[in-house]
Amino acid sequence: MKKLLNCSIYIFLLMVVASAIPAQSVNDSVIDGVVAVVGANIVLKSEVEAQYLQYRMQGNIKGSAEKVKCQIFENLLFQKLMLNQSQIDSAKVNDIQVESEMDRRLRYLLSQAGSQEKLEEYYQKTMVEFKNEMREIIKEQMMIEMTQQKITKDVTVTPSEVKTFYRKLPKDSIPEVSAEYEIGMIAKHPVLGEQEKETVKAKLKSFKERIKNGDDFSTLAILYSEDPGSSKKGGELGLFKRGEMRTEFEAAAFKLKPGEVSDIVETEDGFHLIQMIERKGEYINVRHILLQPKFSNQSMNQAKSLLDSLGKVIRNKKIAFSDAVTKFSDDLSKNNGGLIINGANGNSKFDASQLDPKIFLVIDKMKVGDISSTVMYKTDRGKDEFRIYYLKERTLPHKANPEQDYDKLQQWALETKKSDVINGWINRKISRTYISIKGLYANCEFQRSWQKK
């Protein structure tokens, strides 16, 4: 099946990592030079070599070095062609968008590395150097994405096209679909007592007093904040605009002046102190200290006991799972009949690799229709809750078919159609764009006719 060329975050990360590799580590004997010109943009030999090195480090090499480098080189030609078109179209990406996207992707990289220190050690660059190199890459990536989206924005597939797409698939090319699970849950949050809340608020008040007397906010965040995503960065969240954070958090944060510290703010995540760092147009950057009240043993036992009893009632068919969800669940999934939604595809079906291991361990041995025993679960925001799970459906591994996998086939058909549209666009643009390929890459066997006859 054809693969749609795209500018995903994976390509971005590859480019960032490649750019972060010191030039001398690629090959001390290689003198860098221009190996292609596409419109007003160039491809450097070091770009190809650095990406090849990264592929090799990841163990992704299949085929000879020359063949892999030619594939990398052709992908770079494609990116430069897209970039050239975005420049012709005067695509605009403002600095605030770039900074916001850079912060978002840096948070991802930091989560993978574990800490800023480890990230800097791995790439042998300071965070300032890393950001300076990322900035132009991100800007180009965003411009390329805008152009690609513009090319494919009107592409859709009809049900008849999906059926035709499936019929035309060679039998030995029909994708294998992994086992999938559809899971419901009822979640119960322990109730916070006023005493637990007051304990946390008193601690935050003492922090605010210390800051007023000269203590550094970011140091306190490193030492005490319970937000794992920001505490190691001194509580800094990076640029964001309205609509990206909790409503109560934003209401307090956007009122602050640079350097000012908020009063205590309560959100679903806990209690915060917020300090304004800077404001750029519609975006702000703040740091915060998050403390989460600890539930009492009595509150924890009450929540667990309620779900233990509820599970028995559902198993004895005295209440339907859907009714129990509506009446008792504290999770937003209650608006969806209790079904857990897969963030990767937007529906309620997961393959095993997509499931949280803590959930998979519970439902793996269950039969369809079973209700699990009560389990404690720590959410991605660090909060404890109790859950019971309902295994609504499990499908066995199978060849894709329209009856079970229409959504997947529809997406594959759409991607193939978009790929055809982009390939047609590339062929037309190649004939109208100045392209010059120099040196050893001129002998590559390309998928497209980059060199005019």
Which DSSP letter does residue 451 get?
Answer: S
Closest by CA position to 78, among listed 105, 33, 34, 41: 41
Q: What is the pLDDT of residue 102?
A: 84
- 167 vs 280: which has the higher pLDDT: 167
Q: What is the pLDDT of residue 14?
A: 45
- Mean pLDDT of all residues in 391-410: 92
Domain-embedded: residue 448? no
Q: What percent of the chain has pLDDT over 90?
A: 56
Q: For residue 137, what are the contacts with CB-CB under 8 A and spacing of at least 6?
A: 12, 15, 16, 19
- Mean pLDDT of all residues in 407-436: 92
Distance between CA 330 and CA 444 in Å, rounded? 59
Quick one: 287 and 304 in the same domain? Answer: no
Q: At 366, which CATH number? A: 3.10.50.40
Q: For the chain, what is the domain count?
A: 3
Quick one: 112 and 36 in the same domain? Answer: yes
Task: Return the bridge partners of 44, or none.
Answer: 34
What does pLDDT average to over the chain?
Answer: 86
Q: What is the pLDDT of residue 32?
A: 59
Quick one: 17 and 131 in the same domain? Answer: yes
Strand order from edge to edge, sheet including 270-280: 265-267, 270-280, 283-291
Strand order from edge to edge, sheet including 34-38: 41-44, 34-38, 435-437
Least confident of 52-56, 71-75, 376-380, 404-408: 52-56
- Mean pLDDT of all residues in 249-268: 95
pTM metric for this prediction: 0.61
Quick one: 211 and 96 in the same domain? Answer: no
- Mean pLDDT of all residues in 427-433: 91
Quick one: 18 and 151 in the same domain? Answer: yes
Half-sphere exposure of 130 (CA within 13 A, CB side): 22
Least confident of 31-40, 79-88, 320-329: 31-40
- Mean pLDDT of all residues in 200-225: 96
- Mean pLDDT of all residues in 375-394: 90
Strand order from edge to edge, sheet including 375-378: 349-351, 180-188, 384-395, 375-378
Instruction: Give the pLDDT band (50/70/90) at residue 344.
Output: confident
Least confident of 2-11, 16-25, 249-258, 421-430: 2-11
Quick one: 127 and 225 in the same domain? Answer: no
Q: Beta-carbon neighbour count of residue 412 at 10 Å?
A: 20
Q: What is the pLDDT of residue 243?
A: 86
Quick one: 38 and 121 in the same domain? Answer: yes
Q: At 131, which CATH number? A: 1.10.4030.10
* Residue listed under structure tokens 């640079």: 258
Task: Return the bridge partners of 339, or none.
Answer: 184
Q: Are strands 180-188 and 349-351 parallel, antiparallel or unpaired?
A: antiparallel
Half-sphere exposure of 213 (CA within 13 A, CB side): 7
Q: How far is CA 240 from CA 203, 223, 226, 243, 280, in A?
A: 27, 24, 20, 9, 10
Distance between CA 399 and CA 162 in Å, rounded? 16
Domain-embedded: residue 449? no
DSSP line for 237-266: ---B-TTSS-HHHHHHHTTPPTT-B---EE
Q: What is the pLDDT of residue 254?
A: 96
Q: What percent of the chain has pLDDT over 70?
A: 90
Domain-embedded: residue 102? yes
Distance between CA 113 and CA 3 in Å, rounded? 30
Domain boundary residue, one of 291, 318, 350: 291
Asked whether residue 333 carries a pLDDT value surpassing 70, the answer given is yes
Q: What is the pLDDT of residue 404?
A: 87
Quick one: 134 and 254 in the same domain? Answer: no
Quick one: 24 and 142 in the same domain? Answer: yes
Quick one: 102 and 218 in the same domain? Answer: no
**Highest averaged pLDDT of the listed ranges 57-61, 193-197, 258-262, 347-351:** 258-262
| SS3 label, residue 126 | coil
- Mean pLDDT of all residues in 267-288: 92
Domain boundary residue, one of 276, 291, 306: 291
Q: What is the pLDDT of residue 9?
A: 39
At 45-74, the pLDDT tens digits run 988 987 887 777 666 566 688 888 999 999
At 128-173, the pLDDT tens digits run 888 888 888 888 889 998 999 999 999 999 999 999 999 999 988 8
Q: For residue 284, what are the contacts with CB-CB under 8 A and spacing of at least 6?
A: 239, 240, 241, 253, 254, 276, 277, 278
Q: What is the pLDDT of residue 60?
A: 58
Q: What is the SS3 string spanning 323-363?
A: HHHHHHCCCHHHHHCCECCCCCCCCCEEEHHHCCHHHHHHH
Distance between CA 418 and CA 152 in Å, rounded? 6
Q: What is the pLDDT of residue 241?
A: 85
Distance between CA 114 and CA 129 in Å, rounded? 19
Closest by CA position to 36, among listed 432, 452, 450, 453: 450
Q: Angle, nearest 10°, between helix axes 95-113 and 127-152?
A: 110
Query: Residue 394: enclosing H or E segment and its boundaries?
Result: strand 384-395
Closest by CA position to 171, among listed 405, 399, 398: 399
Domain-embedded: residue 14? yes
Question: Which residue range is the domain that position 111 belongs to?
Answer: 9-157+411-443
Domain-embedded: residue 101? yes
Asked whether residue 283 carries a pLDDT value surpassing 50, the answer given is yes
Quick one: 17 and 144 in the same domain? Answer: yes
- Mean pLDDT of all residues in 205-225: 96
Q: What is the pLDDT of residue 4?
A: 34
Dihedrals phi, psi of 266, to nearest 5 degrees: -100, 130
Quick one: 342 and 253 in the same domain? Answer: no
Instruction: Give the pLDDT band (50/70/90) at residue 272.
Output: very high
Q: What is the pLDDT of residue 62?
A: 67
Instruction: Give the pLDDT band (50/70/90) at residue 85.
Output: very high
| SS3 label, residue 272 | strand
